[in-house]
A and B are shown apart, each in its own frame.
Chain A
Amino acid sequence: MNTKSIASLLLTTALSFAAAGVASAQDKTVKIGALSDQSGLYADLGGPGSTLAARMAVEDSGLAAKGWKIDIISGDHQNKPDIGTTIARQWFDVDKVDVIVDVPNSGVALAVNNVVKEKNGVYINSGAATSDLTNAQCSPNTVHWTYDTYMLAHTTGQALVKAGGDTWFFLTADYAFGAALERDTTAVITANGGKVAGGVKHPLNTPDFSSFLLQAQASKAKIIGLANAGGDTTNTIKQAAEFGIVKGGQKLAALLLFLTDVKAIGLETAQGLNFTETFYWDMNDQTRAFSKRFAEKMKNNAPPTMVQAGVYAGVRHYLKALEALGGNPHDGVKIVEKMKSMPTEDDLFGKGEIQPNGRTIHSAYLFEVKKPSESKGPWDFYKLVGTVPGDQAFTPLSESKCALLKK
């Protein structure tokens, strides 16, 4: 290679970098990766519905008409952290994904959190529960949208302790989520003068809970706290009814229950359960209008769960931030900072904000499952019992251990 060709090579390279620099300032291409459990026990509460929610957020943003090109791809993490991180890495390295959304399963969520930070992408988590995502393991690239274990503990947990449920026995899913939920709820119980009589940790995706339920029954605790989710929770509730646990005087606390779980259990068995969600399709005209559009595109005409609603709201807010930036800088920290600087507002969660630790704050609602006689339609399941304002439901910044707050 002679001097002339080296010079021309250098010149071309310099020019292409310059061109890329110009392009990034006005770059209006975005790639969204919806990473979820597409086939396992959390597939109905996130899964294909989350991808649909992301797609609807893109359509509703109206950015396509303004010349933006936004693509969505989806992936199945199968509830395995190694698979989740492999997909995330491939998305950033090969597919040039800008933002990863949803990611239920706290174990996978925490693992993906590290990858997104390393690659300086954006992470809008809706499906995972662990409060560590915005606490001990917070990241400048992460926004945690819908709910978390702190919120569940301080709403459902607190309400039940105050109503006289002062002794608890935990049935806990044996991974990051269960541990976080049990830890956060235990803190609430002891702070309110109650005590934890014992607990068992069961493997994820257990078909039979009778052994565990017998132990819970033998503990004579007033409340049996279910620190599990999805198929595990539905099986526990169903089998608890079979063993006459509630009839025997003990109360079940479904610390995390989704719309699809109630559908799966059936109102006959689920009636009377108290739990917390931050979104329910039948709250007001806006949520009903969105849910109707969503259900028309979903199989079995299912309305959105709070996780899917969170994906929609998170993507909407992300796109608003990009629009405000005037283009996609492909810089995760910068985009998330912009997201935090703008108040959140959408039809599904109302007004809110994203705290410096990445936690989105909005109201949480205590619900009770209706009796079969009270239900007027195939998805008419919840009665609103109470509303907890966002600043009381989520971790106060003064208690947060997030390193981002120590700046």
Chain B
Amino acid sequence: MQALYAQLLVGLINGSFYALLSLGLAVIFGMLNIINFAHGALYMMGAFVAYFLLNLGGINYWWALLLAPIIVGIFGMILERTMLQWLTGLDHLYGLLLTFGIALIVQGLFQNYFGSSGLPYAIPDQLKGGMNLGFMFLPVYRGWVVVFSLVVCLATWFLIEKTQLGAYLRAATENPTLVRAFGINVPRMITLTYGLGVGLAALAGVLSAPINQVRPLMGADLIIVVFAVVVIGGMGSIMGSIITGFALGVIEGLTKYFYPEASNTVVFVLMVLVLLVKPTGLTGRAA
């Protein structure tokens, strides 16, 4: 029984990454209508920027948490301005193909230069060590990841669903012409939103760097699962992504305990089941 609690907690930790990544994807899909396949590559860039900041600039983890999302977010905004904006109004497929191509190029470049086995990134001193919870030894860093991700997820949800800025955003996606008539610069808002989604991916990358290796393919390994999370949660649904992200992390953790061989596929089995019963995903609205 103790082991089961431990697996639940570990699942929640992985769920934090799923939630943060799928949240970014949901924001981008919900506002820009782009299926952002470059999300994994941008997550990887977040981890690499943190690595560079530390090793080239001596800038520590805490600053990286702030700076890496901003730097990668700006990169994302440049992508949006130079490439993605031309796809407005076209079929989803174009965005998917373009971002997939971008992901391959970015990953290829990093791999060519840094190899595949990855670079070490140490856990910051303040978060080293662990606590004995009785049923498991919880590394402090992992506890921090859960708490921090939850806060970021809820703040993002609040920003989009509850503030005036979020209301403009949602309106702009529903009827851009009308919103523009109110004097709001819709293209700039779209660019900033893409930057926000990308920044969330990069933030997850920084959080992940001390746990996983900083590897060029770290995003490619994760992105398919994250897409499954978004599909199960309902494309574009903010709260759906957050809840599904955490829930799937837990389910995956339990699978690792009961039948480890299936742990890589359980998410997809669930996706099939959910889509059979509810094609719009758990919290998605019919188009």
A242 touches B141 (CB 8 A): yes
How near does chain A come to B18, taking the closest CB pair, in angstroms? 11
Q: A260 and B263 in contact (CB under 8 A), knowing A40-B217, A207-B218, A208-B212?
A: no
* Contacting residues, chain B, for A263 (C-beta < 8 A): 117
Given contact pairs A211-B7, A243-B139, A244-B137, A44 touches B257 in the complex (Cβ within 8 A) = no
By the criterion CB–CB under 8 Å, are B115 and A44 in contact? yes
Selected interface stretch from A8-16, A264-272, A273-281: A264-272
Which chain B residues border A264 with CB–CB below 8 Å? 117-120, 213
**Is B113 positioned at the interface, with any CB of A under 8 Å from its CB?**
yes
Of residues B6, B117, B123, B221, which shows the largest number of chain A Cβ atoms within 10 Å of its Cβ?
B117
* Binary interface encoding of chain A residues 34-66 relative to chain B, with 1 for a CB under 8 A from any of its CBs, else 0: 000001111111010000000000000000000
Q: Which of B116, B222, B263 contacts A47 (CB 8 A)?
A: B116
A210 to B141, CA, bound (A): 13
- B123 in contact with A242 (CB, 8 Å): yes
B218 cross-chain contacts in A, Cβ below 8 A: 207
Q: How far is the CB of A43 from chain B (nearest CB, A)?
A: 4
Binary contact track B129-173/A, C-beta < 8 Å → 1, others 0:
010000011010110000000000000000000000000000000
Contacting residues, chain A, for B105 (C-beta < 8 A): none
Q: Residue B35 at the A interface, CB < 8 A?
A: no
Is A375 in the interface zone, CB < 8 Å from B?
Answer: no
With CB as the reference atom, state the residue of chain B lying closest to A258.
B117
Q: How many residues of A contact B (CB 8 A)?
A: 45
For A45, what are the chain B residues with a Cβ–Cβ distance below 8 Å? Answer: 117
Asked whether any CB of chain A lies closer than 8 Å to the CB of B280, the reply is: no
Interface flag for A215 (CB, 8 Å): yes
The reply to whether A234 and B137 form a contact with Cβ atoms under 8 Å apart is no
Question: Does residue B10 face the partner (Cβ distance < 8 Å to A)?
Answer: yes
Per-position binary interface string of chain B over residues 103-129, scored 1 when its CB falls under 8 Å from any chain A CB and 0 otherwise: 000000001111111111011000000
A-B pairs with CB below 8 Å: how many?
A: 116
Tell yes or no: B264 within 8 A of A by CB: yes
Please indicate the chain A residues that have their CB under 8 angstroms from the CB of B122 in the complex: 266, 268
Q: Are A299 and B113 in contact (CB under 8 A)?
A: yes
Partner of B13, one of A41, A210, A268: A210
B14 close to A (CB within 8 Å): yes
Out of B137, B212, B260, name the residue touching A235 (CB < 8 Å).
B212
A39 and B220 alpha carbons, distance in the complex (Å): 12
Tell me the A223-253 residues at the B interface (CB within 8 Å).
230-231, 234-235, 238-239, 242-244, 248
CA distance A11 to B15 in the complex (A): 74
Q: Which of A161-169, A195-203, A312-320 contacts B (4 or more CB under 8 A)?
A: A195-203
Distance in angstroms between the alpha carbons of A235 and B235 in the assembled complex: 32
Q: Is the CB of B137 within 8 A of A217?
A: yes
**A214: which of B7, B120, B221 is its contact (CB, 8 Å)?**
B7
Q: Is the CB of A265 within 8 A of B115?
A: no
B3 within 8 A of A: yes
Give the size of the chain B interface in residues (CB under 8 angstroms): 41
Question: In the complex, A174→B256 CA distance in Å?
Answer: 13
Partner of A231, one of B13, B114, B118, B257: B118
A3 contacts chain B at the CB level, 8 A cutoff = no
**Chain B, Cβ-Cβ closest to A218:** B3
CB-based contact B221/A205 at 8 Å = yes
The docked-state distance in angstroms from the alpha carbon of A357 to that of B95 is: 54
Complex Cα distance, B136 from A41, in Å, reads 30
Residues of B within 8 A of A39 (CB): 111, 116, 217
B263:A234 contact, CB within 8 angstroms: no
Answer yes or no: B178 CB below 8 A from chain A CBs.
Answer: no
With contact pairs A234-B117, A242-B141 given, residues A207 and B7 touching in the complex (Cβ less than 8 Å): no
Is B211 an interface residue when CB atoms closer than 8 A count as contact?
A: yes
Check A379 for interface membership: any CB of B closer than 8 A: no
In whole angstroms, what is the CA distance A205 to B118 when docked?
13
- The yes or no answer to B261 lying at the interface (CB within 8 A) is yes
Inter-subunit contact A215/B137 (CB<8 Å): no
Closest residue to A211 on the B side, CB-wise?
A: B256
Q: Report if B253 contacts A (CB, 8 A).
A: yes
Decide if A206 is an interface residue (CB 8 Å cutoff): yes
- Interface set, chain A 159-206, CB cutoff 8 A to B: 174, 200-203, 205-206
Alpha-carbon distance between A256 and B161 when the two chains are bound, in angstroms:
51
Can you list 15 A-B pairs with a CB-CB distance of less than 8 A?
A39-B111, A43-B115, A44-B115, A202-B256, A202-B260, A205-B221, A210-B13, A211-B263, A215-B257, A218-B6, A230-B117, A238-B211, A242-B123, A264-B213, A266-B122
User: Which residues of A pack against B, CB within 8 Å?
Assistant: 39-45, 47, 174, 200-203, 205-208, 210-212, 214-215, 217-218, 230-231, 234-235, 238-239, 242-244, 248, 260-261, 263-266, 268-269, 299-300, 302
Closest 10 CB pairs of A and B: A266-B120, A211-B256, A43-B116, A264-B117, A203-B264, A44-B117, A44-B115, A242-B139, A210-B10, A200-B260
